[in-house]
Amino acid sequence: MKKVILLCLSMISAFAQSYAGKVPLVSQNQGVYDGTSRLNSPELLHNIMLYQNWGGLFVNLQIHWFRTLFFGITVGVLVVFFLHYIVIGPKKFAHDGKAIYVYNLFKRIIHWMAALAFVIVIPTGFMMIFGKELGGGTLVLDARYLHSIGTVLFIVSVIPMFLMWLIPMLATFDDVKWLFMAGGYLTKKKVVVPAGQFNAGQKMWFWLATLGGFVMIITGAAMYFEDFDLAILKSLNLDQIDILRISAIVHNFLGMAVTALFVTHLYMSLFAIKGSLDSMISGNKSEDEVKYMHSSFYKKLKKEDKI
């Protein structure tokens, strides 16, 4: 059925071109913008002609892919980690040794604010995606509002987070090595993993959460405000509606990635490394853990005589 829609477009666009010609379009509402919606402007007709650009893609993705992918990715990640837990099991480190103070109070507060934001935003996002199953209505509508409120919290936390961890999160040669050995998670042995203060996995999560987060904020804002008038967007030569469609597509795909890595992050902190949660509560990591999991960082601290 969608194919039919898409197939008809060639005819329409030929028809449209014969109307539109090469003369610049001067629209009726130009200059006397009526204060209601730009989506009511003659752009609308333009949109009928250019529907295939993004509209068709969005419809296709939303009908066939978004829900399936979200479901698949979430379940897939959970299954993988469940198997990991059964087969390989968690890593245990001695917690009786010296504690290394790694996260100061400010960093912990920021982290937990962001964490709270994620805890709000991701489930509410899921509620919207799987709104059918929840029957829609007030529940999901409130979830949508909560999603927006969570975003505000996220905006407040993600900016300082980005600044405070920007330097240690820069990629190093260790990260390549880390990736090659999959962070040492595929073995039950306690191996020394090459990583600085943060390992490549944490860095991936960081960059996705911050840069990806920014993109999600922007695309989300576009969808939230729906009707905006920014000169910079006009220069993109896109119709308002297409900006919205692209936003929705990008937001969904990033959402999948964020979900996957958020679940990973949860698994790592709660299950895969026993006691790692403590470090975000007290700010201290055990020396044992640092020694193995962040070997380069450990060496650096040693060298600087901080331990």
Partner 1 sequence: MSSFARMKFYCDEKRCIDCDGCSVACDEAHELPVGISRRKVILLNEGIEGKEFSTSVACMHCTDAPCEQVCPVNCFYIREDGIVLHDKNICIGCGYCLYACPFGAPQFPTDGAFGTRGVMDKCTMCAGGPEPTNSDAERKLYGQNRIAEGKVPACAAMCSTKALIVGDAQSVSKIYRERVASVGHGVQSAPYGWSKAYGK
Partner 2 sequence: MQNTTQKALSTRIGRRSFLKMAAVASAFGATSAFASGNVTRAATKEEVKNPFPGSKLVKTICTSCSVGCGVIAEVQNGVWVRQEVAQDHPVSLGGHCCKGADMIDMVRSEIRNKHPMVKENGEWKRISWDSALDRISKKLEDLRKTSGPDSTMFLGSAKFNNEQAYYFRKFAAMYGTNNIDHQARI
Partner 3 sequence: MANTWGYGAMTNSLNDIQNAKAIIIFGANPAVNHPVGFRHLLVAKERNNAQIIVVDPRFTRTAAHADLYAQIRPGTDIAFMYGMLNIIFKNGWENKEFINDRVYGMDDIRKEAAKWTPERVSDVTGVSTQKLIQITNAYARQTPGTLLWAMGLTQHTIGSSNTRIAPILQLALGNMGVEGGGCNILRGHDNVQGATDMCCLSHTLPGYYGLSDGSWKYFAKSWGVDYNWLKGRFKAKEWMNKKGFTLARWYAGVLAGKAGEDKIHNAGTNLKALVVLGNGITSIDQQAKVKEALDNLELIVIADPFVNEAVVLTDKKDDVFLLPAASQFETSGCVTATNRSAQWRSQVIEPLYESKTDQDLMFELAKRLGFYKEFTKGMLMKENKKSFKWPEDATDEFARIIKTIGFTGWTSKRLKNHQKNWDKFDHVSLMGYGPMKGEYYGLPWPCWTETHSGSPVLYDINRSVKEGGMGFRNRFGLMHDGVDLLAGKGSAPKDSANPDGYPEITAKNIEKVLGITLSASEKKRIGKNWKVDTSNIIAQKCMERGMAPYGNAKARANVWTFPDRIPMHREPLHSPRQDLVKEYPTYKDKPNHYRVDTRYASEQDKEDWSKKFPINLITGRLVNMNGAGVETRSSKYLAKLSPEMFCDINPGLAANHDIKNGDMMWIHSPSDTKIKVKARFTYSVAEDRVFLPMHFAGYFQGEDRSAHYPKGHKPYAVGESANTVTNYGYDIVTQLPETKGGLCRIEKA
**Residues at the site binding partner 3, with contacts judged by CB under 8 A:** 23, 26, 30-36
Cα distance between residue 287 and residue 307, in whole Å: 9
223 binds, among partner 2, partner 1, partner 3, none (CB under 5 to 8 A by kind): partner 1
260 binds, among partner 2, partner 1, partner 3, none (CB under 5 to 8 A by kind): none
- What residue has token string 């489930």? 123
Tokens of 196: 């600085």
Cα distance between residue 200 and residue 185, in whole Å: 13
Q: How near is the Cβ of 31 to partner 3 at its closest, in Å? A: 4
Q: Which is nearer to partner 1, 10 or 104 (CB)?
A: 10
Contact 147, 128 (CB under 8 A): yes
Query: How many angstroms from the chain centroid is the CA of residue 288?
Result: 32
Q: Which is nearer to partner 3, 33 or 130 (CB)?
A: 33
Q: How far is CA 164 from CA 8, 161, 289, in A?
A: 53, 5, 22
Tokens of 147: 């999603």
Q: How near is the Cβ of 212 to partner 1 at its closest, in Å? A: 21
- Say whether 101 sits in a helix, a strand or coil: strand
Contact 249, 61 (CB under 8 A): yes
Q: How near is the Cβ of 68 to partner 1 at its closest, in Å? A: 13
15 binds, among partner 3, partner 2, partner 1, none (CB under 5 to 8 A by kind): partner 1
Q: Which residues bind partner 1 (CB under 8 A)?
A: 1-2, 4-5, 8-9, 11-12, 15-16, 19-21, 23, 25-28, 36-37, 39-42, 44-45, 47-48, 51, 55, 58-59, 62-63, 128-132, 134-138, 140-141, 143-145, 148, 223-224, 226, 241, 244-245, 248
Closest Cα partner for 255 from 86, 76, 69, 84?
Answer: 69
Contact 97, 298 (CB under 8 A): no
Q: How near is the Cβ of 246 to partner 2 at its closest, in Å? A: 24
Q: How near is the Cβ of 44 to partner 2 at its closest, in Å? A: 18
- What residue has token string 């119709």? 239
Burial annotation 239-249 (CB, 10 A radius, 16+ → b, else e): bbbbbbbbbbb
Q: Which is nearer to partner 3, 15 or 33 (CB)?
A: 33
255 binds, among partner 2, partner 1, partner 3, none (CB under 5 to 8 A by kind): none
Q: Which is nearer to partner 3, 28 or 138 (CB)?
A: 28
Q: Which is nearer to partner 2, 132 or 189 (CB)?
A: 132
φ, ψ for residue 89, nearest 5 deg: 85, 170
Q: Which is nearer to partner 3, 34 or 142 (CB)?
A: 34
Q: Which residues bind partner 2 (CB under 8 A)?
A: 1-2, 63
Helices 240-267/51-60 angle, 10° precision: 30
Contact 71, 170 (CB under 8 A): no
- Say whether 191 sits in a helix, a strand or coil: coil
98 binds, among partner 2, partner 3, partner 1, none (CB under 5 to 8 A by kind): none
Q: Which is nearer to partner 3, 40 or 282 (CB)?
A: 40
